[in-house]
Structure 1
Amino acid sequence: MEIVEKAPAKLNLLLNVLFKRTDGFHELELIMTAVDLSDRLTFTPQKDSAIKLVSNSAAIPLNKKNIVYQAARLLKEKHQIDEGVQIRINKQIPVAAGLGGGSSDAAAALRGLNRLWQLNLSLEELAELGETLGSDVPFCIYNKTAYATGRGEAIQLIEEIPQCWVVLVKPVKGISSWTVFEKLEPEVLPKYPAQQMVEAIAAKDYEKMVQQMGNALEPISIEQQPDIQIIKEKMKAFGADTAVMSGTGPTVYGFTQHFSKAQRIVNGLKGFCKEVYLVRTLK
């Protein structure tokens, strides 16, 4: 028997950094959603007790350093599972892109192994486990639009955003999250109106929603990767209703409700960046 789970990419529609906490982490305020650019994980039982990872990507480790391995080990140890498993990770989400690919893979591993090993854990229980693996994993368990606080692990599901087309553009050079957060001075970063965005989403007001979108980490990431600013400007020039960096970057996304306009944005940016994707928000 094989089990298959999709692992969708995550977008930060809004990201505020409120302050640095006493535990060394930063208190965040986030609104996140998922798009249909997805990795695909396939789980196959093994006769021995080992966890084996295989992948189509040379960019990820296939050992204990991989968060998917850590998720599988966590479930095995917590629930005393003797069975082994092979997990095939078909990567489509760019690595080190600010799209939560690793966290989404870990969440898919928890969901898939919950089914394979018939543990009957609820999504809430899986999200609680996922929090020990990474701040974005609880959101990725649900893959629904959410308002999040804390390190990003305190999830409150909200209304789904109006469905639209999303153009994703990833520059060649990636950005490591820790290099962004180590330089942060929260008091000088921009702040975006989270509550107004939640209200706009609830009202299905697309125009008001895109007006509120923003990422407070952009100034720091643009210092490391100036192409982010160039991509934002090009996206808007080609007709995107908004252009925002996701996570710590460097991926920039643009929204539009019109397929013809989305195609024009894609065609305009393909000459500037190799990795350009046209996807939709998830329902």
Structure 2
Amino acid sequence: MTFTLPAPAKLNLFLHINGRREDGYHELQTLFQFLDFGDELTFSPRQDGQIVLEPALPDVPAADNLIIRAARLLKARANRPLPGVSMTLIKRLPMGGGLGGGSSDAATALLGLNHFWALNYSLDELAELGLALGADVPVFVRGSAAFGEGIGEKLTAAQPPEDWFVVLKPPCNINTGLIFSQQGLTRDTPRITIAPAFEGDASRYRNDCEDVVCRLYPEVEKSLEWLSKFGPARLTGTGACIFGRFPTESKAQKVWASKPSGITGFVAKGVNQSPLHRKLTELR
């Protein structure tokens, strides 16, 4: 009963901020797409009934870890005795990179344990649980590229082109709360009425956080300027990761090979069906 599931990265192909709500959250419109690259989570049975995650993440207490929180939330929902489980995390996605690593890990925990414990909850039920953990968790639970609205939880399936991406992680960590608190942040981008497929004039779409992030984090601006030499480049989420899209793997790899020293990252293919869901289908 031991199995391993992927926890893929996501990109915000654009991120528009339409307004600020009374509760302090921001109304957004965004286009999510998955990458065929990410973390991995292995599930193994335990005899002592405990939920254990290994290894511990640096500077993240167990009670705050989204994987543990997801497991405990699901167990509480089941409200009956369940077997113990060990979860082993291989962490490849940078923390605080705007790639959704923590949210993806939580979604993989929810779907993996739903299978491990044979709970048979629907995607709707699991997405509702996931929303309590974070606004990005539902898109990972549902597993389809999507046009997101609200705080990112209102999802409409979309089919953006499955291109190749160079993803760079500048040597800094972004404080998301700081970005959304900035007076200079654009908060009045007009809403678009149809889920775009990232076709036509790409200049219509942008990341409204980008200017503020570049002003506060020069490392991001420097990396963005470099990657923009090869085509349009953009911040994902509130960063710090940036991405450039390319039609072929060979073109992406050529750019990757010339990246400046001191910057980490990876090359990956954009996919509209989550690798997590493809793997779960194989397990059934």
Deviations 1:62-120 (A, max 9, x none): 61110100000000111024222111111111111111000000000000000001111
Match among 241, 244, 248 for residue 251 of structure 1: 241
Displacement over 6 Å in runs of 4+? none
Deviations 1:173-218 (A, max 9, x none): 11121121122555x457387557x3445xxx4xx26444410001
SS at match of 1:263: helix
State how many pairs are aligned.
271
In structure 1, the partner of 2:269 is 280
Question: What is the distance in 1 between the residues matched to 2:224 and 2:217?
Answer: 12
In structure 2, the partner of 1:32 is 32
Question: What is the distance in 2 between the residues matched to 1:194 and 1:37?
Answer: 30
Determine if contact 1:39/1:93 at 8 Å carries over to the other structure: yes
In structure 1, the partner of 2:257 is 267
Determine if contact 1:222/1:229 at 8 Å carries over to the other structure: yes
Determine if contact 2:20/2:187 at 8 Å carries over to the other structure: no
Determine if contact 2:19/2:188 at 8 Å carries over to the other structure: no
Question: What is the distance in 2 between the residues matched to 1:171 and 1:62?
Answer: 26
Question: What is the distance in 2 between the residues matched to 1:183 and 1:121?
Answer: 40
In structure 2, the partner of 1:231 is 223
Determine if contact 1:7/1:104 at 8 Å carries over to the other structure: yes
Where do residues 32-181 of structure 1 align in structure 2 (5 Å cutoff)? 32-55=32-55, 58-59=57-58, 61=60, 63-82=62-81, 83-158=83-158, 160-181=159-180
Question: What is the distance in 2 between the residues matched to 1:142 and 1:60?
Answer: 29
State the shift of 1:260 in Å: 3.1
In structure 1, the partner of 2:189 is 191
SS at match of 1:98: coil
Determine if contact 1:8/1:104 at 8 Å carries over to the other structure: yes
- TM-score w.r.t. the length of structure 2 is 0.88
SS at match of 2:256: helix
Determine if contact 2:179/2:213 at 8 Å carries over to the other structure: yes
* Cα RMSD after superposing both structures: 2.1
Question: What is the distance in 2 between the residues matched to 1:59 and 1:147?
Answer: 33
Determine if contact 1:193/1:212 at 8 Å carries over to the other structure: no
State the shift of 1:122 in Å: 1.4
State the shift of 1:26 in Å: 1.1
Question: What is the distance in 1 between the residues matched to 2:170 and 2:252?
Answer: 19
Question: What is the distance in 2 between the residues matched to 1:233 and 1:60?
Answer: 32
Question: What is the distance in 1 between the residues matched to 2:108 and 2:226?
Answer: 34
In structure 2, the partner of 1:3 is 3
Question: What is the distance in 2 between the residues matched to 1:200 and 1:115?
Answer: 32
Q: Which runs of 5+ in 2 are unaligned?
A: 273-284
- Paired letter, 2:75: K
State the shift of 1:261 in Å: 2.3
- Paired letter, 1:163: E
Q: Equivalent pairs: percent with the same residue?
A: 34
Question: What is the distance in 1 between the residues matched to 2:112 and 2:164?
Answer: 28
Q: Which runs of 5+ in 1 are unaligned?
A: none
- Greater relative CO (CA pairs within 8 A, separation 6+): 2
Determine if contact 1:169/1:253 at 8 Å carries over to the other structure: yes
- TM-score w.r.t. the length of structure 1 is 0.88
In structure 1, the partner of 2:275 is none
Determine if contact 1:107/1:141 at 8 Å carries over to the other structure: yes
